[in-house]
Amino acid sequence: MKNFFFRSICLVTLFSVAAVAAETNQKAVTKKDKVIKLRWEVVHSPYDYFVRMAKVFKEKVEKETNKRVVVEISAKKTHSFNKLKEQQTSNDAYTENKAVALQRAEGVKALQEGKVDIAQGYSYYLASVSNPEYHALELPYVFENYDHVNRFLESETGENLLASTSSTHNMRGLAYSFSGGLLVALTPKDKPLITRESWNGRHFRTIDSLIRLRAVKELGGEIADLEEQNDKINDGESKRHRATVMINSKIIDAEEINLPDLERKLFERKDVVKFNGVIKSSVLNKISVSETQHTLLSTIFLINEKKFQSMSAEDQKIVKDAAVFAARFERNLTVHRYELAKKHLIKLGFAWNTVPTTERNKIRSATEAVYTQLYKDVPSTKMIVSKINEMKTVTPKKIAGQ
């Protein structure tokens, strides 16, 4: 009888221990064991660049996490640069998002609300909602060229600025990407923007950025009202190419634009014909490009903070490193496409103007008040600009992914 009770007690104890162990093991499932889905809707242009960037990110994350983290990409149908020698990758692998259908300005808000998990936000927009120090990146001629830009973005100061994206807004900055990069100016053929004086009285169309608006006004230009000009264009065909139409119609006489995007838009025009490789168009023959490269249009690669915190420390590092790698890919692609588009447009006889270094320096000096005002509004930007200036002479390190 004693043996029976002893065996019974042992069995009960054994089952109890097993049950507790099972429950403990169930609770011990770590973040690393969960499959985490990252939703990314590409809403910025050039769409082709960012779809390819997203694909690079997806492949790297899923491979290195062994698909503990998967990335779902959706995008509008991409534009193809049929006139370039290198063809864009097919968009067949991606779906056109109909559930969220974000417009460009809605990406950051959707990220914060958890509708998407990854987004890109313009640095000038994040300066208004997260950290005003981002304004330093778009100061006129703060960067000399693309090499200078990349040196700063990969520096300690650049990383600290990126890390400043406030997690209290439910988002985290992971990397820097371009959204056109260094901008050029589209102008009438007989009014190129290549000297300090040529900015005076210029009716300029630009994005709603505090620094850009101040710079144009400081240089003696006027800011065009975007909505007012759009209302002056009635047919849908013209709206897709509103910059060329507005300049030809003398509604505006200058617009900031990124070069590869400009090339694509030019060849979408129905009135473009070529004769012996030279553009023949009543509109395009009246406009030209001034290679000002006067300001940087960049985006910040963002992730939803709550989603980021749901990952293990190991997977967080993989996602961060993959974002940096993919962003470098996009920046390199932007520079490469810029040079291709430039050669292509010149070859086709498109009017092209280069801004002399002496005039760049004059424009920079003439906008000193824009720098001074920013230093007054956000004192820490003075240190950031100082670091940017130091990067002019720093020899870049060879970095994986570049």
Q: Is the pLDDT of residue 396 over 60?
A: no
Can you give the pLDDT at residue 78?
A: 42
Q: Pick the range with the lowest mean pLDDT from 41-45, 114-118, 225-229, 330-334.
A: 225-229
Q: What is the spatial distance between Cα 382 and Cα 359, in angstroms, rounded to a whole number? A: 24
Can you give the pLDDT at residue 382?
A: 97
Output the average pLDDT for the chain.
Answer: 77
Average pLDDT of the residues in 15-33:
48
Average pLDDT of the residues in 18-45:
64
Can you give the pLDDT at residue 231?
A: 53
Q: What is the spatial distance between Cα 110 and Cα 307, in angstroms, rounded to a whole number? A: 13
Q: Quick one: what percent of the chain has pLDDT higher than 70?
A: 69
pLDDT in tens, 271-302: 444 444 444 555 567 788 899 999 998 899 99
Q: Name the most confidently modeled range: 77-81, 200-204, 235-239, 387-391.
A: 387-391
Q: What is the spatial distance between Cα 136 and Cα 211, in angstroms, rounded to a whole number? A: 9
Residue 379: CB atoms within 10 A of its CB come to 10
Average pLDDT of the residues in 44-55:
83
Give the residue with greater pLDDT, 50 vs 132: 132
Amino acid at 215: A
Q: Pick the range with the lowest mean pLDDT from 109-118, 162-171, 276-285, 353-362.
A: 276-285
Q: Is the pLDDT of residue 11 over 70?
A: no
Average pLDDT of the residues in 69-86:
57
Can you give the pLDDT at residue 305?
A: 93
Can you give the pLDDT at residue 93?
A: 35
Average pLDDT of the residues in 152-159:
93
Angle between helices 146-153 and 156-163 (to 10 degrees): 60
Q: What letter does residue 141 receive in the DSSP assignment?
A: T
Can you give the pLDDT at residue 356?
A: 94
Residue 3 Cα to chain centre, angstroms? 76
pTM: 0.79
Joined tokens for residue 105: 């300005």
Q: Is the pLDDT of residue 221 over 60?
A: yes
Q: Is the pLDDT of residue 91 over 60?
A: no
Beta-carbon contacts of 173 under 8 Å, excluding residues fewer than 6 positions away, are 126, 162, 163, 164, 165, 300, 301, 302
